[in-house]
Structure 1
């Protein structure tokens, strides 16, 4: 599933090129998780003013309204002047005078949703419960620790929920917890101030590094220009079940938490 680094890498790969483009048509394929919310022809003539990111959502600001884009479990965006005819997994084409923005999503968990403005019910439903951005100044260590103390669930599950800090998905939560020396099953409210500060720093470091190398291309993720990411080549624990820990040599373990795979080192992450 594309996580925050992959979504931000995608945004950077086409935001400058689509800014100022005028929409000339919108093609919809098979229904996605949420409907567009307006008739496609009503978007014709609108101008894309810019592209922002909030958590794992991309926000295309139009001169009237905005489009919220989610890549779902397997989605990716392409933006180019000469894309081939749409295939069976190409579900949305936003045609502009600078190229076509296409959502490709084999599993159809992605979506493109129109909202009149960011405070509209459609936007609030998707964005209203998101926590702070982990790479922003709003992500502050003391507030992070205080928020963790209000949760009795495992720290891995709390991070994935996104209510405290947004966008720390499965890969990066596993890696940040390893870097901080915290076992994924540890209850969030039992993490003290010092360890919370280590985890705060690890989250920022892991995500920043993932951005540097273009995110993770575990299956078919590519950015809007077709480029792959390489963070998966550097992981310390994620996807390395049965292999020796890169720090201590202990075999990396795998468990399931909330239907998601979790990887950890039983020695480096004692508690």
Structure 2
């Protein structure tokens, strides 16, 4: 792809991203993501003190649906998550408007694959929010266990689970690396404060460790033929709680996820689009 062509494509992405209504709803997606992570962290802390709940996005949205105005917020979330997914899809197709001069074709491919992956994540969030807004939501953990059990019925499915687990661990490692190196600052406009840098560092590392734990449980479920081990983020957090010093581990995990949620509010205001 020539520089001129790439500039034209990123210009298309920029025109879409800078559309006023589109941009506001896309940024609202960061707010909703932040709210979901705050609730997941709260549930994890509640579990540490003997409470109940599902410490994942479905549990967070169930909590939200039970609050006054929660259903309306979920409907707003559906639109916001869809807009975020469309923004990432535009980046996957046309390239990033905020990185028009990518260093190499490898970085371009990586950025587009990442954008497509985030598109899928936000679409999944939109579907979950839609179901809970309608009152028909189900726990993500039970869906994960069911899918794992079906895949385990043949060798190809088991291999796919192991590969999927490794991919999830790699995604978690990417988040940890992004937090440790503070590469997330490239996503922000302006000059972030020291507080924002610390918030992003802790948040990304905590999020990465949680995601990597999910991938590890998927691999364990496949290799031990126990689909119940593959219970998503909720399973990973509850596995933490079952370890020695589980209360402390749950508190650390909950506070880390809450930190990522707070950083999402920074992204809502300052993310490059």
Return the TM-score normalized by structure 2.
Answer: 0.27
| More helix by percentage | 2
| More strand by percentage | 1
Return the TM-score normalized by structure 1.
Answer: 0.27
- Structure with the larger RCO, 1 or 2 (CA within 8 Å, 6+ apart): 2
